[in-house]
Amino acid sequence: MRVKYVLSEVLVGLWRNVTMTIAMIITMAVSLTMLGASGLMYRQVDDMKDLYYKNIQVSIFLDQEVSPEQRDALAAKLEGDPLVKESIYVNKDEAYKRFQEMFQDAPDLLSAVKADSLPESFRLTLNNPEQYKSIYDQYKEAEGVDEIVDQSRLLDKIFDILTSIQNIALAAAIVMAIAALLLVANTIQVAAYSKRREVAVMKLVGASNWFIQAPFVLEAVVAGLIGSLLGLVALIAAKYLLFDGSLQALQGLLSPIGWGDILVVFPLMAGVGGVVSAVTAWVTLRFYLRV
């Protein structure tokens, strides 16, 4: 009976103040979408870091006029270097072959480059990709070395961009969460005001505090959970429209977002939505009802 009473009070409460309820749910949904997006981004960046850093290479390009002795000395030195996991020598022919593969769609470019104009190089895989700097310092001045290129430099830029997008999403999530919080507090006050007679009678006849508060708190929690469901829908829509749609060109660059990722973020959104609403409602009632 009491459960039924509380649930019907929740529905009546949400419906009585329906414009406010909608505003509350929408803000909550936007905030939680942002939170979910930044959570996804976080996992994404992690995944990508794993993926890329594993395959990342440092290339040491050699002078055009490098002598075989210099080359062998360098090869021996790289072989013995504790920072280097693997070192592969790429001669001019192989470099040209790779170049041909990479640019097979651009015959003009291919015909403009001669087979021996591409430099020989060592492709290094490092034990720890972040130690690029010491490799660079060590081999920069070595004889026969023309240039040292670190792919992780490029990736760092991409990761920087992703991280700042993630931070923006998180900041937006927090700002919207504050708005949602105030709306919840306000909605609960209005609800408590519209039920002040009932509440006064309940206090008078000795209804327990949880029984008086439960409908209000649950009202906020239900709104929070609906908000998180809408947020989930928004994330799914974003996956469909953005990642599988207009951003598909970046597929090779960005690791794909799976349904599993979204499903993992949802409990986070629902949990935050529910708990934030419940705590806000409860604190509001402490001040407003003084039960």
Which stretches of the chain bind other proteins, using CB under 8 A?
Answer: 1-2, 5, 197-198, 200-209, 211-212
Residue 208 Cβ vs other proteins, minimum distance, rounded to whole Å: 5
* CB of 54 or CB of 197, closer to other proteins: 197
Q: How far is CA 186 from CA 23, 48, 224, in A?
A: 11, 42, 14
CA atoms within 13 A on the CB side of 21: 19
Residue 218 Cβ vs other proteins, minimum distance, rounded to whole Å: 16
* CB of 173 or CB of 212, closer to other proteins: 212
Dihedral angle of Cα 57, 60, 61, 66, to the nearest 10 degrees: -150
Residue 186 Cβ vs other proteins, minimum distance, rounded to whole Å: 24
Q: Is 122 helix (H, G, I), strand (E, B) or coil?
A: strand
CA atoms within 13 A on the CB side of 18: 4
* CB of 153 or CB of 196, closer to other proteins: 196
Which residues on neighbouring strands pair with residue 256, listed in sequence order?
none
* CB of 103 or CB of 211, closer to other proteins: 211
Residue 210 Cβ vs other proteins, minimum distance, rounded to whole Å: 9
* CB of 15 or CB of 259, closer to other proteins: 15
CB 135, CB 148: distance < 8 Å: yes
Residue 289 Cβ vs other proteins, minimum distance, rounded to whole Å: 12
Amino acid at 30: V
Angle at the Cα of 120 from the Cα atoms of 143 and 107, rounded to 5 degrees: 150
* CB of 199 or CB of 235, closer to other proteins: 199
Taking the CA atoms of the chain, what radius of gyration do you get in angstroms?
30
CB 233, CB 27: distance < 8 Å: no
Residue 286 Cβ vs other proteins, minimum distance, rounded to whole Å: 11
Dihedral angle of Cα 65, 70, 75, 80, to the nearest 10 degrees: -150
Q: Which helix (H) or strand (E) holds 88?
A: strand 84-90
* CB of 215 or CB of 274, closer to other proteins: 215
Residue 2 Cβ vs other proteins, minimum distance, rounded to whole Å: 6
User: Of 218, 209, 195, nearest to 280 (Cα)?
Assistant: 218
